């Protein structure tokens, strides 16, 4: 089949992201309410702050904002993880980053599947935070065996999805009809199934070990457990949620509010109680399971290693000063401590750039373009910026934050989640299960920044700006 008949992976991803959102709206109607709220607040921000709207237009982010979302799933075995990686690859999504959640008492490690090139991200920034259950951390050998046996029996991909994945790998793409078929088939893996694969008693044993273990092991597949839209003002969202009948978690994860947002701020609302049927269930005995929830996020600048180290340091200081886990009772104090510590993080893009704290995208201005061929114009990047020939915007952070992810997991698994798994980072084992290394997110941001400098230099008729 000639390559020109293939649909671009970016377009398959955009279709899949839209199909997932439609499915999730039907499964969790509150997600639809949340989308409406986010739409209203985003519009309000753009009306009130024309500068923000202008920046979004300049970077092109305005086009992706409405359809921007991430999801999360949890798989049970190495084989499931490896195959999910192949499924995401059909949609141009690569594993980026490694997250160890064991310090938070959650027996999983994770990666984020997402597009990696700025042009692909522009078409669809859809990402999926994907966690692998770590059965080896279950300390009860009988239960570990039970979980392993149950997981070994399930097949979370439809036969047709498997066929299309293989076809795509062999031929290098999918045509329009196969791509549409693939989206429909792939969606099946993420669908909620009220029918459990275990007896009530097995469910209870798994659940007593850890609620997350029951969520991964007791069902036919890795149901999508949340889908998160992107807002331009998460504080406004947090404040308006209760009036819409959506009670948010106590604190917003991530950095404090800033004029120039950095990284990622997230809030969520509690898991829903869903009816489930166990394999030995009599009609009169309804079971229930809570796993799925809603989440909203605000994204800001991608930080360099130096910026990230400063972020981690200030976050740790605020948490140490709090002397406990942020919760309902100490939420106000935590937010105050966070604001206080983060005074040490410059809230000014020019300073962040000069100090090498964030990654940027560069644009030639009209003034710069008009000065092409003028031999007296400046040639170094700082001088061109100073002279108004080049301007810059921060690159958006496309990834996740382990401490925030832990807070999101915990608030939805109940505060009784125990932290007895210690510190068990094992990226090598994760990559072995996945069957390939995960990509380094900082290298990806650096490449995007470098490409933007090259484009900018070419537009100005200069040899290089890097
Ligand atoms: C994933 C929790 C982490 C985020 O946005 O940090 C997450 C999960 O609960 O499976 O989604
Ligand atoms: Ni999330």
Whether 105 contacts 189, CB under 8 Å = no
Residue 112 in contact with ligand 1 by CB distance below 6 A: no
Element (H, E) at 256: none
156 token code pair: 């979370």
The tokens 């958006």 sit on which residue? Answer: 396
Q: Do 186 and 248 share a domain, yes or no?
A: yes
How far, in Å, from the CA of 128 to the mean position of ligand 1?
9
Q: Are residues 85 and 110 in the same domain?
A: yes
Q: Which residues contact 362 (CB under 8 A, 6 or more apart)?
A: 381, 390, 391, 392, 449, 452, 453, 456, 465
Please give the number of the atom of ligand 1 that sits closest to the Cα of 74: 10
pTM confidence score: 0.95
CA distance linking residue 33 with residue 465, whole number of Å: 46
Ligand 1 geometric centre to CA of 408 (Å)? 6
List, edge to edge, every strand of the sheet that includes 108-114.
Answer: 94-100, 108-114, 127-133, 69-75, 226-229
Q: Is residue 354 part of a domain?
A: no
- Both 279 and 308 in one domain: the answer is no
Q: Is 266 in the pocket of ligand 1 (CB under 6 A)?
A: yes
Ligand 1 geometric centre to CA of 459 (Å): 41
Strand-pair partners of 290? 273
Structure confidence at residue 17 (pLDDT): 96
DSSP 151: H
> Do 321 and 232 belong together in one domain?
no
DSSP code string of 409-434: HHHHH-TT----S-----HHHHHHHH
User: Strands 127-133 and 69-75, how do they pair?
Assistant: parallel
Compute the residue count for the chain. 466
The residue whose CA is least distant from atom 11 of ligand 1 is 72
> CB of 109 closer than 6 A to ligand 1?
no
Which of 409, 411, 412 best tests ligand 1's pocket when mutated (most atoms within 8 Å of CB)?
Answer: 409
The verdict on the CB of residue 156 being under 6 Å from ligand 1 is no
CA–CA distance, 387 with 389 (Å, rounded to integer):
6
Structure tokens that stand for 46 in this block? 């753009």
Residue ranges with strand state E in 115-200: 127-133, 174-175
| Mutation probe of ligand 1 site: the residue of 96, 408, 417 with most atoms within 8 A of C-beta | 408
Whether the CB-CB separation of 84 and 133 falls below 8 Å is answered with no
Specify if 277 maps to a domain. Answer: yes
- With beta carbons less than 8 A apart as the criterion, state whether 422 and 430 touch: no
Ligand 1 and 434: CB distance under 6 A: no
For residue 245, the domain's CATH number is 3.10.180.80
In a domain, 351, yes or no: no
Whose CA is closest to 113, among 125, 128, 124?
128
**460 exposure class (CB count in 10 Å sphere: 0-12, 13-18, 19+):** buried
* C-alpha 227 – ligand 2 centre gap (Å): 7
Report the nearest-CA residue for atom 7 of ligand 1. 405
Does residue 352 belong to any structural domain of this protein? no
CA distances from 188 to 30, 252, 454 (A): 21, 32, 42
Tokens of 122: 């522009």
The angle, 0 to 180 degrees and rounded to 10, between the axes of the packed helices 331-341 and 305-322 is 140
Q: How many Å apart are CA 292 and CA 407, to the nearest integer?
A: 15
- Beta bridge partners of residue 31, listed in sequence order: none
**Chain centre to alpha carbon of residue 267:** 13
**DSSP strands (E only) in 138-293:** 174-175, 226-229, 264-269, 273-276, 287-290
Q: Which ligand is nearest to the CA of 292?
A: 1
Cα separation, 302 vs 128, whole angstroms: 18
* Residues 269 and 374 placed together within one structural domain of the fold: no
State which of 400, 406, 414 you would mutate to test the pocket of ligand 1, scoring each by most atoms of that ligand within 8 A of its C-beta: 400
Q: Does 74 map to a domain?
A: yes
Residues 223 and 287 in one domain: yes
What percent of the chain is helix, strand and coil (3-state, nearest 5)? 50, 15, 30
Classify burial at 339, counting beta carbons within 10 Å of its beta carbon; exposed 0-12, middle 13-18, buried 19 or more. Answer: middle
355 inside domain: no
| Rounded-to-integer distance, Cα 87 and Cα 436, Å | 14
Contact, 198 vs 218, CB < 8 A? yes
Structural domain including 333 reads 303-346
Q: What is the DSSP letter of 271?
A: P
Residue 413's pLDDT is: 74
* pLDDT at residue 419, as a whole number: 56
Are residue 45 and residue 153 in the same domain, yes or no?
Answer: yes
Quick one: 384 and 246 in the same domain? no
**pLDDT value of position 283:** 56
Q: Counting atoms of ligand 1 from 1, which one is nearest the CA of 228?
A: 5
Domain identity same for 270 and 372: no
Which atom of ligand 1 is nearest the CA belonging to 225? 10
- In this structure, the answer to whether residues 168 and 212 fall within a common structural domain is yes
Per-residue pLDDT of the chain (466 residues; tens, 9 = 90+): 555 599 999 999 999 999 999 999 999 888 888 899 999 999 999 999 999 999 888 888 888 887 789 999 999 999 999 999 999 999 999 999 999 999 888 899 999 999 999 999 999 999 999 999 999 998 899 999 999 999 999 999 999 999 999 999 999 999 999 999 999 999 999 999 888 999 999 999 999 998 899 999 999 999 999 999 999 999 999 998 888 888 888 899 999 999 999 999 999 987 678 889 999 876 546 788 888 888 999 999 999 999 999 999 999 999 999 988 888 899 999 999 999 999 999 999 999 999 999 999 999 999 999 999 898 999 899 999 999 999 999 999 999 999 899 888 877 776 554 556 777 899 999 999 999 999 999 999 999 999 999 999 999 999 888 7
Distance (Å) from CA 403 to ligand 2 centroid = 12
Sign of CA dihedral 197, 200, 206, 210: positive
308, two tokens = 């990230």
Q: Are 256 and 61 in contact (CB under 8 A)?
A: no
Q: Does 94 lie in the same domain as 8?
A: yes
Instruction: Find out whether the beta carbon of 225 lies less than 6 Å from any atom of ligand 1.
Output: yes
Q: Is residue 134 part of a domain?
A: yes
What is the best residue among 84, 402, 405, 406 to mutate for testing ligand 1's pocket, by most ligand atoms within 8 Å of CB? 405
Number of domains into which the chain is organized: 3
Asked if 225 contacts 215 with a C-beta cutoff of 8 angstroms, the reply is yes
- Domain co-membership, 201 together with 325: no
């Amino acid at each position: 089949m000639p390559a020109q008949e293939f649909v671009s992976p970016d377009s398959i991803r955009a279709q899949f992201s839209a199909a997932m959102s439609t499915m999730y709206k039907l499964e969790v109607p509150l997600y639809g309410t949340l989308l409406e709220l986010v739409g209203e607040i985003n519009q309000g921000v753009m009306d009130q702050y024309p500068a923000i709207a202008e920046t979004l237009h300049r970077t092109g982010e305005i086009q992706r904002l409405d359809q921007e979302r991430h999801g999360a799933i949890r798989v049970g075995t190495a084989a499931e993880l490896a195959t999910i990686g192949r499924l995401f690859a059909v949609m141009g999504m690569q594993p980026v980053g490694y997250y160890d959640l064991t310090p938070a008492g959650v027996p999983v490690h994770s990666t984020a599947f997402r597009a990696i090139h700025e042009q692909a991200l522009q078409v669809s920034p859809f990402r999926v935070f994907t966690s692998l259950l770590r059965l080896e951390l279950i300390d009860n050998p009988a239960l570990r065996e039970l979980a392993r046996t149950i997981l070994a029996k399930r097949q979370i991909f439809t036969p047709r999805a498997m066929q299309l994945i293989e076809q795509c790998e062999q031929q290098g793409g999918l045509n329009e009809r196969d791509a549409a078929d693939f989206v429909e088939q792939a969606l099946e893996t993420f669908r909620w199934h009220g029918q459990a694969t275990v007896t009530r008693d097995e469910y209870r044993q798994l659940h007593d070990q850890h609620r997350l273990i029951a969520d991964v092991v007791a069902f036919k597949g890795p149901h999508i457990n949340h889908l998160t839209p992107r807002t331009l003002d998460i504080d406004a969202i947090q404040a308006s949620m209760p009036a819409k009948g959506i009670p948010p978690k106590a604190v917003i994860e991530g950095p404090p509010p800033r004029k120039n947002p950095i990284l990622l701020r997230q809030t969520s609302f509690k898991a829903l109680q869903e009816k489930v049927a166990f394999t030995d269930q009599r009609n009169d005995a309804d079971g229930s399971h809570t796993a799925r929830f809603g989440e909203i996020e605000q994204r800001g600048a991608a930080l360099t290693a130096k910026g990230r180290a400063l972020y981690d340091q200030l976050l740790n200081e605020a948490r140490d000063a709090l002397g406990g886990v942020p919760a309902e009772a100490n939420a106000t104090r935590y937010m105050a401590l966070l604001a206080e510590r983060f005074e040490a993080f410059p809230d000014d893009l020019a300073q962040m750039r000069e100090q090498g704290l964030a990654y940027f995208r560069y644009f030639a201005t009209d003034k710069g373009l008009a000065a092409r061929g003028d031999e007296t114009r400046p040639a170094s990047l700082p001088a061109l910026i100073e002279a108004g020939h080049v301007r810059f915007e921060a690159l958006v952070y496309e990834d996740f934050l382990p401490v925030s992810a832990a807070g999101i997991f915990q608030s939805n698994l109940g505060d009784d989640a125990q932290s007895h798994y210690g510190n068990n980072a094992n990226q090598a084992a994760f990559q072995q299960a996945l069957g390939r290394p995960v990509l380094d997110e900082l290298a990806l941001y650096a490449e995007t920044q470098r490409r933007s400098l090259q484009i900018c230099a070419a537009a100005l008729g200069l040899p290089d700006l890097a």
